[in-house]
Amino acid sequence: MITIIGSGKVGGAAALFTALRKVADEILLLDVVQGLPQGEAMDLNHMLSEKGVDVGIRGSNDYSEMKGSDIVVVVAGSGRKPGMTRMDLLKINASIVKGIVENIRKFAKDSMIIPVTNPLDPMAYLTYKVSGFESNRVFGMGNMLDLSRFVQFIHESTGYSRQSIRALVIGEHGENMLPLPRYSTVGGIPLTSILSADKIEGIVQGTRQVAAKVIQLKGATVHAPGNAIATIVEAVIRDTKQVIPVATYIDGEYGYSNVSIGVPAVIGKNGVEKVIELDLNSTEKEWFKKGIESVKDGISNLEV
């Protein structure tokens, strides 16, 4: 069973995309708002019935119903408003996430947890510390979402098929994220051989800024994060060993410790099965360091 805590737009989208991938027989939507998860489950089941997808979705306001969950996705919390940074949400969401994780520890102690609530990296750290779970069982959805945006900008700039593009984004899920053109290819050809340095810089900056633009235009990001969550869930359930950038606790990797941040990792049935350490150049190291410092600053304001 997959449990998704938070039944707003992103939680609903995560349930939809996960169900369409048919990776679980049952998806539980949990929320403190009476009626919301039940109504969302009904709506999704109606759509799945027409599609002939035999995945059951149910809604509940009772945390105890998550017993037996293989994965718990934590989406609940306040979302970004136009003009806000992800870090502006730190104190608002920390208490919400802490209470949720305490319930996960109580009712789903054998699960894996995928934090999604912003600011993602500090919330991943908070989740890891409060849960007491092994680090491989807590990995946040952040850079997987950034990656989808990076791929779209590459597609727009090259005109080549999205299927041909392989890209990577690591670091903070925020203004200091690190898109990696050197580790990105189109049909196996390095991106740096296809586009000029100026074009690539424009793509990188666009990737860092586009979430705020989407929020300004429509109020929230929904479909891309919902799909990113489903991609990670599928990698665990199907044991694909897919390399996905996730926010997880690092202890010496990349030269840093006691922090959760986005790194490429092999994702399979055991969660984070291996953190892949890339050979970063000086500029990339500086951006990664900026992200580390930002996340550590956020963590310093948490009561863990």
**For the chain, where are the alpha helices, taking DSSP H only?**
9-20, 36-51, 90-107, 120-131, 143-158, 191-194, 197-218, 223-237, 282-300
Say whether 46 is catalytic: no
DSSP 276: P
CA 206 to the chain's CA centroid: 19
Residues found in the chain: 304
Contact 298, 90 (CB under 8 A): yes
Sign of the C-alpha dihedral computed for residues 271, 29, 124 and 290 taken in this order: positive
In one-letter notation, the amino acid at residue 173 is H
- φ, ψ of residue 55 to 5 degrees: the values are -120, 125
Edge-to-edge strand list for the sheet holding 185-186: 165-166, 185-186, 189-190
| 169 burial type by CB count under 10 A (0-12 exposed, 13-18 middle, 19+ buried) | buried
Contact 71, 111 (CB under 8 A): yes
CB atoms within 10 A of CB 157: 18
Q: Which of 46, 155, 173, 223 is catalytic?
A: 173
The rounded distance, in Å, linking the Cα atoms of 170 and 140 is: 12
Task: Assign 277 to helix, strand or coil.
Answer: coil
262: left (phi over 0), alpha (psi -120 to 50) or beta: beta
The residues that are catalytic are 173
